[in-house]
Amino acid sequence: MKMSHVGIMVGDMDQAVEFYTKALGLDIVMGNSKVIEEKQTAIGRMCIEVFGEGFKGFNIAHLVTSDGIGFELFEMVDREQRHVVDFTKVGIFHYALETDDFEGVIEKVTQFGGKARMDTMRYHPEDENRPYKMVYLEDPFGNLLELYSHTYSETYSSEYE
């Protein structure tokens, strides 16, 4: 199994594309496009199946990480402006990215309307050979992302214990 993409609801497509490209360094595959409710095309019928009749349309943009993972950004016509994470409910509550420019990305996230949800943490502070860091951040719309300084496998491997 390989990861293909994630879909994220945003409150303002122009701001979202700017944030995800300039703060997080994603590349645009397909810029802001309008989708309306209609039954004439396969995409239109699929959207009705997913969102239900009367979804009123949305804007969509497709972005991609440097390792080829897609980010679909959705700006629904009828939406709340901010996502509020409810930790009492089952479901996805964040996605994670890895970078070689850990502090620089945190700075850019705040510069482009996001924020840090916590101080940076080291997973193995007692081991100087494992300087792996992480932090939870938030995009301008309240979506949570976790930022890693090293790979998932390096960070969680018990190989060194």
Residue-wise pLDDT tens digits, 86-143: 888 888 899 999 999 999 999 999 999 999 999 999 988 888 888 899 999 999 999 9
Tens of pLDDT, residues 73-86: 999 998 777 788 88
Domains (range + CATH), the chain: 5-156 (3.10.180.10)
The per-residue pLDDT for 139 is 97
> Mean pLDDT across the stretch 21-47?
93
Q: Summarize pLDDT for 24-35 with one digit per residue, the tens.
A: 999 999 999 999
Helix (H) or strand (E) holding 50: helix 42-51
> What integer is the mean pLDDT of 10-15?
96
Is residue 160 a contact partner of residue 143, using CB atoms and an 8 Å limit? no
The per-residue pLDDT for 159 is: 60
- Helices and strands of the chain, counted as H and E runs: 4, 9
